[in-house]
A = this chain, B = another copy of it.
């Protein structure tokens, strides 16, 4: 009934194509695996478990993924993407260096808390195999470099007091990354609430005087 009077091609919106179905299932797999990894850790999560949760058997997973390691790698990539989204947002909306930094902080927290499943995985860095680890490490360093530059910008424009950029980045990125160890979506503090408190603390830490 809702379909009536639509264009003939309306079915496309309702019945996903094969490729779309494939992508959908693959994403579901990554999400579920990420959730499990964060809850029990990479090594204590068997693909049998993940499969059971998804209502299939293990070999079915291997149709969408070449091995367990690939899952972990993709989760890391997805989580890091959020960081870049937050960064772009902040650079666009902030004026001074401090405003931008504080905005990144706030936005990033909002993003990872709403997508916690795929992000808590950030703590499983050691479980990445060397080649993948190198890729993720490189991206992370690039990311933190951009942050450092925002701080330098803030010191120049007078919105941030003199401070070691690299250490400052480590400081608040640590505070944020550690969230994956304690944040629970059903806890008594919302993602936005935490974002407010944390970005406020950061702002005072950086402000001159």
Contact = CB atoms under 8 A, between A and B. Distances in A.
Interface of A: 40-44, 123, 125-127, 161, 163-164, 167-168, 170-179, 181-182, 189, 194, 197-198, 201-202, 204-207, 209
A109 B201 CA distance: 20
Contacts of A182: 170
Contacts of A126: 40-41, 44, 123
A90 to B, nearest CB: 19
B163 A43 contact: no
Complex A-B, nearest 10 residue pairs according to Cβ-Cβ distance, in ascending order: A174-B178, A41-B126, A43-B43, A205-B205, A174-B175, A167-B197, A175-B175, A201-B205, A171-B175, A204-B205
A163 B193 CA distance: 12
Contacts of A204: 161, 204-207
Nearest to A176: B174
Given A174-B175, A175-B172, A177-B178, A198 B167 contact: yes
Contact of A179 (B41, B174, B205): B174
A57 to B, nearest CB: 24
